[in-house]
Structure 1
Amino acid sequence: MAPRQSFEDAETLAVQALGFLASEPERIGPFLASTGLDPANLRAAASEPGFLAAVLEHIGSSDSLLLEFAGNLRLNPEIVAQARRRLAGEAPGPGDFA
């Protein structure tokens, strides 16, 4: 059984997800719209608690976005949900390793 994902691993994945979103205007636009952010205040918001969990929440809210992101990194899409739960401070889900 694999160890549970560390907080640092979850943060790294969320930063990768933010880069994935930012790499294409059609990806970052809906994220900015849903958060009320704009490119000028995105960097400041990135240091706020909960921001990285929100990035992964956004990725996970669209099956096509989630599958594309996970596919690019050759990850099981459930890893994204595990990382979001970890960053949000939630209890592990049924598929998470203890």
Structure 2
Amino acid sequence: MSFSVDAAETLALRALAWLVGNEELLPLFLGSTGAGEDELRARAGDPEFLAAVLDFLMMDDAWVVGFCDASNTPYDHPKQARAVLSGGAQVHWT
């Protein structure tokens, strides 16, 4: 599947909703981003923030599997959506 920007943002919003509903991961996400709960709502439409949501999710295969299984999403879709949100640029963390 080739993702449009809208489809990538929608998937990232679903991932954010999944994180918000996850009592174990939400504090980790908030701590790693420095965001507060008010900022989650305020930045939910920001593609850069949504990309950070997917970056966080993809830090652990178990989190990807958990989200994808809960949302009936193919396992490779978060990575594809992240690529669209970054404009197709390769993301390097080192």
Establish whether TM, by shorter chain, passes 0.5: yes
Q: Secondary structure at the match of 2:19?
A: helix
Identity %: 38
Q: How far off its partner does 1:91 sit? A: 4.5
Letter in 2 for 1:60: M
Q: Which has the larger radius of gyration?
A: 1
Q: How far off its partner does 1:49 sit? A: 4.1
Equivalent pairs, count: 90
Runs of 4+ in 1 over 3 A off after TM superposition: none
TM-score by length of 2: 0.84
Q: How far off its partner does 1:73 sit? A: 2.1
TM-score by length of 1: 0.81
- Unpaired runs of at least 5, structure 1: 93-98
Q: Does 1:70 align with 2:68?
A: yes
- Unpaired runs of at least 5, structure 2: none
Query: Could you give the per-residue CA deviations for residues 51-78 of structure 1, whole angstroms, max 9, x where no partner exists?
Result: 0111111111111110010111222211
Letter in 2 for 1:18: L
8 Å Cα contact 2:47-2:85 kept in structure 1: no
